[in-house]
Structure 1
Amino acid sequence: MLTDEEVFKGCLKNDRKAQATFYQRYKSRFFGVCWRYANTREDAEDIFQEALVKAFRHIKEVRDAKDVSAWVRRIIVNTAISHYKKQVTFEDISDLSDEELLGVDEGEDILTQLNNKELMEILSTVLAELPNGARMVFNMYVMEGYTHPEIAAQLKIAEGTSKSQLFFAKKYIQEKLKKKFFSTVASVK
């Protein structure tokens, strides 16, 4: 089995075996990132494929094999954002007060009662149900660590729109978690 260093060096030389290993290795690591942004599995496959083509094209920009993983992740996230930037619409969620936009406190204790696997299963299902705009902002803010000003600049929307989309996504996810939690508790009794 090739090490990450050997795969990286092989890709620099356009070695097909190294490129195939690179593709499989990073698909297992990062396909979930594509899936979080995508509407369908096919869209996720397209995003991943497009991102890896970009990675192969620009791999000479990477100075060290240890930097490749973070570099590939950044390419995947940027490709996913670009993929949906043109088609995402941000629904008017309503005028929300600043207090409402600061966070969601109600129901936080539900999260502490779910294990990570349960939470990720629910979250992946719920994220797929979110409107595209809310899903995009949630992914960028919560999963990727972007700030609202950065999201607004990337998506060419107002900062308030980013905040309201995140608020909507959190409320939606919270409601789904409550339903799941209470149906689980009811089935146990």
Structure 2
Amino acid sequence: MTFSDEDLIDACSKGKRKAQEELYARYSSKMYPIALRYSKMQQEAEDILQEAFIKVFKNIKDFRKDSSLGYWIKRIVINTALNHQRSKLYLYPMVDISDLRNHTGPELTLSNFSYKELLAMIRRLPTGCQVIFNLYAIEGYKHHEIADQLNISEGTSKSQYARAKSLLKEWISENNNMDYDRAGEF
């Protein structure tokens, strides 16, 4: 039996196991890549996803329906990932924006990279850079919102984002050059 989102919400809030299984089946594959972007390892992403869905099932009775169910679940996954990473953020040095050089170089081509390769590069970023890059570039948060969420200064958010972009450009450039060098060998 396939439930509508409204029926799923109602049945899940009553603790119906079949509805919970349906909700998980419908949304887990969409939420897993989000958890993966905020983690360093696959197991960590799986833990984030599991913890997020436990929160979903626990709090679905409070869902106000002022957004789509998918968006609400996505917010829970992101917040769970942030809570998971928040304690780690303070283990890594944060770079002040004044320490960064404004690097302008040639435009880089991303079309040579698969989603998995780009995801691997994002996951390679230092934790602070990774979290802020995801929040700003992918989720669309503003730096002042990120600063409030992570209890950091807006300047730190901006500097971590700049550092993430710089590292990603460097890695993409290295990969593009390696591809070019390999092509030149033939």
TM-score by length of 1: 0.85
**Is 1:84 the counterpart of 2:79 in the alignment?**
no
What is the deviation of 1:105? 4.8
Structure 2 SS opposite 1:2:
coil
Structure 2 SS opposite 1:146:
coil
1:64–1:158 Cα change, 3 Å:
closer
The runs of 4+ residues in structure 1 deviating greater than 6 Å are none
Task: State the distance in 2 between where 1:80 and 1:95 align.
Answer: 25
The aligned amino acid for 1:96 is S
Aligned to 1:108: 107
Q: Deviations over 1:116-145 (max 9, x none)?
A: xx2522321111211111111101111111
Aligned to 2:138: 143
- Count residues with an aligned counterpart: 182
Aligned to 1:32: 33
**Is 1:122 the counterpart of 2:117 in the alignment?**
yes
Query: Which of 96, 99, 104 is the aligned partner of 2:98?
Result: 96
The aligned amino acid for 1:93 is V
- After alignment, is 165-174 or 56-65 more displaced? 56-65
1:108–1:120 Cα change, 3 Å:
farther
What is the deviation of 1:7? 3.1
**When you count helix as a share of all residues, which structure comes out higher?**
1
**Is 1:154 the counterpart of 2:153 in the alignment?**
no
Could you tell me which runs of 5 or more consecutive residues in structure 2 were left unpaired when the two chains were aligned: none
Q: Deviations over 1:35-59 (max 9, x none)?
A: 1101211111111111111111111
Identity of aligned residues (%): 34
Structure 2 SS opposite 1:128:
helix
Aligned to 2:162: 167
1:51-62 equivalences in 2 (<5 Å): 51-62=52-63
Task: State the distance in 2 between where 1:144 and 1:70 align.
Answer: 11
Q: Deviations over 1:38-97 (max 9, x none)?
A: 121111111111111111111122244972101000111111111111121342435527
Task: State the distance in 1 between where 2:38 and 2:49 align.
Answer: 11
